[in-house]
Chain A
Amino acid sequence: MTAVIEFKDFSFRYQSQQEPTLHDINLTIHQGEKVLILGPSGSGKSTLGCCINGLIPFSYNGEIKGSCKVVGIETKNANIFTISQHVGTVQQDTDAQFVGLSVGEDIAFSLENNATPRDIMLEKVDAAAKTVDMSDFLMNVPFNLSGGQKQKVALGGILHDEEEILLFDEPLAALDPAMGMTAVDLIDKIHKNQNKTIIIIEHRLEDVLYRKVDRIILMNEGRIAMDTTPDELLRSNLLKESGIREPLYISALKNAGVVFGADEHLDSVDELDIEKYRPFVEKHFEKVNTNHMIEKGEELIRVKDVDFYYGSRQVLKNVSFTIHKGERISIIGKNGAGKTTIARLLCGIVRPKNGEVYIKGQNYLHLSIREIGRLIGYVMQNPNQMLVKDMIRDEIALALTLNEYDQAFIDERVELTLRMTGLYEMRNWPVSVLSYGQRKRVTIASILALQPDVIILDEPTAGQDYHHYTEIMKFIEDINKNYDVTILFITHDMHLAIEYTDRSIVFADGECIADDLVYKVLSNDDVISRANLKHTSLVHIANRLGIDPEEYIHHFIETERGVL
């Protein structure tokens, strides 16, 4: 096998930074391999990707030591156009990389830049579109496509010919669970059929392992922490130490006291030698008392028979549900199912066409958006869309100022909020120095300043690695526990729903198709398929062992939360 990528004693420091981001990288990847580069945010995995596709040093200035060769070309002496003929890249941001005005045009983009004659271009675009299953969409505009479809287009755009290496930078970040499965499957097919070298950069290990990979390179703090097979990595305890989420089935088995042996295959839940673990699981598993329905506080919001239309398109159909004080609820559903509309409806930004919404027993038609805002807070997904002021305390004071409270009250409330959210020590810091997680915390604090009864959070952890995810979620959990604020998550992250909410309301095509305890919802086959979710690996284990999946998930949740 020939080596297509060779790093030798390679280090890289960005010009704007004091310390190198990559240290002493020694890595060889061979023709036809399928490799996962795994690591938490800031581990240097994306920087490593940029070294492979030539963005370093073409777009990012910095200091390179050692050598990095791609198909034998030393990248620091080469031009990005030479490298990109050999390495095709699919980036994380599906919107930003879609530069064409139609699917066909975007797939053709690299051909256009090569000044390919149009007749040849059309043939190649058709062939690529067929491979990624987008032939019927060539004339579609990007705004009507889902994240998964946009990603397929991006992949199609690099399948034209010579590129022998395909690099995927966090391909799952913007996709819901079912789309993620399709993407992993598609990558696998291309690997098998076209004999390309595949490099996937991700932190969502379990989702990537849906199809086999040959090798995993675990990055941590700018170094290669481990370069090994999936089985060996799963056996070790290195994942948790590096801030990567273990696959749920591995955690469940480890919880049951299983110690994995050296020759066991662990990278696929369906190929586990399950009988070996049966005694452990059966001993550990016990039926959890399910009649401890969560005690409900007073009723805060009641949505009754609501219909809503955008123009002539109906986006909510006869939706009803009730929310009580102190609850933790996840609102789940695929893109376009009506989740965001629900959030806007609750905030009064859009109002129901038919049906009613009651807040604390009062029909909210008489309330202005501003009045509703004091009862229901809305935290958007992207904190940069919310942050206006340059100083933390001013940001937190903004909502109070806009609501025209008097200055003494504002000062008092801001201080209280700063203390509640642990931001008091940083109150005079500029927003610009904060990390993503800290910014998120400031946006939540800026909403909390109004002391609403309910906070709606739109995808609070999107794109975050396990460490930052846990940090953000712990913070929200504390707010819920200590101040009895009702929390509503809009999400398609099933881990989030399982770990941090008690109840799930599931939407599909504008209808509310389930509203129940989270472990009941996530073990319901019909709900899973209609909402574009996927079964957790726990369900697979339970089925293989003949345990009721609902009870098994419930047991797992309670164990993880330390109840048992």
Chain B
Amino acid sequence: MDERLFINLIPGNTFLDKLQGKTKVRIFLICIVALIATWDMRVILPFAVLSVVGLVSLKPNWKKMWGVFAFVIAMNLFNLFLLYIITPDYGLNVCGASTVLFKFTDFYVVTAETLWYFLVRFTKLMGSFIVSLTFIQCITPSEMAAGLNSIGVPYKICTIFSLAFRYIPDITKDFNNIKISMQARGMELDPKKTSLWERLKQNVIILVPLIITSFDRVGNIANAMDLRGYGKGKTRTYYSEHEETSNDKKMKYFYTFLLIVTIAVIVLRIVMPGEFEVWTPWI
């Protein structure tokens, strides 16, 4: 079970791991906003490189990572492929030029601008994927709650995140137990032997006890929290959020710089919109 979770519950030992939740949440939000907000490779590439550096610095378990990487790359390539099938000369729309490199047919041409656009798009999407992955790998749910709280999210909303992670393993256990008891009573779970319709019907059978046992907990958990003063004050502190270290202070300058860049990029895009969305080096 633990092996399948991509988030760690106990902090690790690398540089990023040891930062405050507050710092990690801010860096992540700035990076993801920057990557989402622009189509300019001059901005996207540095942020993408930054996230790759971050991920590598965590010394993650690559074996575990391989599956999602393959899935995400395949998904992105497939989307690009679809895009090409529908509009081969897409580069013309977004870069404003069409430099034909070679032709399959008159319709299916390959242009330098389309390839450039595909490259930008791929870098942008992979960048946002890797930055999320880095974030998940270096933060614990409790630090995330503390970090979100530090940027002004009400603590009751932050609790939803950490509490949900707390009970996911318990719910997974219930889910498996229910499946087991249904199997022992004769339910055929092998997808090869059951039709889609059958599987939907099985969903109903499994969901009812799963929902009932999961929500049965609510009263007890809420009582335990009330009895220990949850919701008493307007603010709360976090055990998992350690004091600011010298590294956190250094990173503060760093993310302030990133923030200024990101804001500048967004402001520029709004006040001086270019004729075409994608910056192309040769145009």
Contact = CB atoms under 8 A, between A and B. Distances in A.
Contacts of A378: 180-181, 184
Contacts of A109: 225, 228, 230
Given A91-B224, A101-B141, A402-B186, A118 B10 contact: no
13 contacts: A88-B227, A96-B221, A101-B166, A102-B10, A116-B237, A121-B239, A139-B10, A141-B9, A349-B180, A373-B183, A380-B177, A385-B181, A450-B186
Contact of B174 (A85, A101, A369, A385): A385
B239 A112 contact: yes
Contacts of A108: 239
Interface in B197-232: 205, 208-209, 212-213, 216-217, 220-232
Interface string B182-201: 11111110000000000000
A362 B225 CA distance: 53
Interface residues of A, number: 69
B275 interface: no
A486 interface: no
A109 B239 CA distance: 8
B71 to A, nearest CB: 23
Contact of B213 (A118, A347, A382, A403): A382
B246 interface: no
The 6 closest A-B pairs by CB, nearest first: A402-B186, A96-B220, A97-B224, A108-B239, A110-B228, A113-B229
Given A59-B226, A403-B186, 20 more contacts: A55-B223, A55-B227, A84-B227, A85-B229, A100-B166, A105-B142, A105-B239, A109-B230, A110-B229, A113-B230, A117-B237, A139-B10, A311-B3, A349-B184, A370-B187, A380-B181, A382-B213, A388-B182, A398-B185, A402-B185
A158 B240 CA distance: 19
B162 A101 contact: yes
Interface of B is mostly: helix
Contact of B229 (A81, A99, A104, A402): A81
A388 B201 CA distance: 12
Contact of A115 (B183, B221, B235): B235
B185 A113 contact: no
B2 A143 contact: yes
Nearest to A93: B220
Contacts of B228: 84, 109-110, 113, 157-158
Interface of A: 53-55, 58-59, 80-81, 84-85, 88-89, 91, 93, 95-102, 104-105, 108-119, 121-122, 125, 139, 141-143, 157-158, 311, 344, 347, 349, 369-370, 372-374, 377-378, 380, 382, 384-388, 398-399, 402-403, 446-447, 450
